[in-house]
Amino acid sequence: MPEINQNYNLLQKSYLFTDIAHKVAAYKKANPDHRVISLGIGDVTKPLVPAVIEALHAAVDEMGTAEHFHGYGPEQGYSFLREAVVREYMARGVSIAPDEVFIGDGAKSDIGNFQELLSADAVVAITDPVYPVYVDSNVMAGRAGAPLAGGGFERLVYLPCVRENNFVPDFPAKAPDIVYICSPNNPTGTVLDRDALTAWVRYARKHNCLILFDAAYEAFITDKDIPHSIYEIEGAQDVAVEFRSYSKLAGFTGLRCSATMVPHSLKVGDGRGGRVELNGLWNRRQCTKYNGCPYIVQRAAQAVHSKVGKSQVMKQVAGYLENAKALREGMAALGLEVYGGVNAPYIWVRTPNGMDSWGLFDHLLTKAQLVCTPGAGFGKSGEGYVRLTAFGTPEDTAEAIERLKGLSL
Ligand code: MLT
């Protein structure tokens, strides 16, 4: 009889957002008359913009003709999209080559998969709280060690991001091999400024560590001094892979498309005393395990980079940022301690009166029919906080605040 990959026995029973979905479904079943507002998982509510819909229609029509039909595409993505991504970087003064851009079916899968290029005994550092994919994908690969009684895993290095350090991770006592950084951050909604990012790039260069930089929320940056890409920091291309997504930028959570940048100058040990480019290895991995993002989706993503497409999606982003502002201000007016939501679509709220985060989740669900994400689900340092997303409709966002006003906290 085959046996499972034992690392799967180390995982928590279910993925955080699946857990929450089950709890909410059970509540809805028991209370069919209550309208539940979800500000839990960061899923978008605005439809695809006209430029994207037009590109999709045109691409679908192409696929119906023998002349323009597309079968298997390049595993790395079509050059029209890779080049559009390159131009996006150029506009911010960053030079990246088309063959350093890999189009994928979402930042979640790219980030989850990328770790498999690295050795099983590599030491991984993560910020805490953290997007669970970074942790779980390393647990699956056997890199995290045994679960600890108080939460977490023995071989992972945790870098707390809490109000006491302004949500900026301190350097670990001993340099890890890999560090995951997400800015604007999921879940705290805070950002790393140029100085903080520069310090991390210098640290990585000095200690030969690899930064896996998640820039999925860069479109939400409003402050002009905050870098949109780690490559805006000198020397970062030698130490960092960057992941970008169309999900939150352009409402592609159901369409799926991402771009992962793997510069040629980024080299790691080959296990035989030499050094090797991660670019070639990622290419090798993708060619074996992936047949490329669908042609019609890549045409839709290309439209996001057009002048008209960009202005349409950025209007939507601005709308979500309005929600973030309303949530921030509404919750602060209730006397709650609120972080994030300025350069990011997430609001990180401290639980009042020492309540724990699942306690506040239950309280909001049962008393206000409002879904949040408990901070503890993102790691030990997330305890004492909940996360709200700005991706709801403006109406639901306003109603959520009204419901909170009527609640004793
Ligand atoms: C979240 O709510 O953290 C995100 O929607 C999850 C994701 O992007 O996969």
What's the average pLDDT block by block, 10 residues per block, for the chain (409 residues)? Answer: 96 85 94 95 96 98 98 97 98 98 98 98 98 97 95 96 96 97 98 98 98 98 97 98 98 98 98 97 98 98 98 98 97 96 98 95 95 95 97 97 89
Give the model confidence (pLDDT) of 258-278 as tens digits. Answer: 999 999 999 999 999 999 999
Ligand 1 centroid, distance to 42 Cα (angstroms) = 5
Token pair listed for 122: 């590599």
Helix, strand or coil, per DSSP, at residue 396: helix
Ligand 1 centroid, distance to 274 Cα (angstroms) = 37
Residue labelled with tokens 């060619």:
287
pLDDT at 136: 96
Q: Is 160 exposed, middle or buried (0-12, 13-18, 19+ CB in 10 A)?
A: middle
299 lines ligand 1 (CB under 6 A): no
pLDDT at 48: 98
129 lines ligand 1 (CB under 6 A): no
Give the model confidence (pLDDT) of 129-158 as tens digits. Answer: 999 999 999 999 999 999 999 889 999 999
pLDDT at 315: 98
pLDDT at 187: 98
Ligand 1 centroid, distance to 330 Cα (angstroms) = 23
Instruction: Tell me the backbone φ, ψ of residue 133, rounded to 5 degrees.
Output: -60, -40
DSSP string of 95-156, one letter each residue = ---GGGEEEES-HHHHHHHHGGGS-TT--EEEEES--HHHHHHHHHTT-S-SBPTTSSBTTS
pLDDT at 244: 98
186 lines ligand 1 (CB under 6 A): yes
pLDDT at 406: 84
108 lines ligand 1 (CB under 6 A): yes
Ligand 1 atom closest to the CA of 133, numbered from 1: 9
pLDDT at 14: 76
pLDDT at 6: 96
Ranges of H-type helices in 31-106: 50-63, 79-90
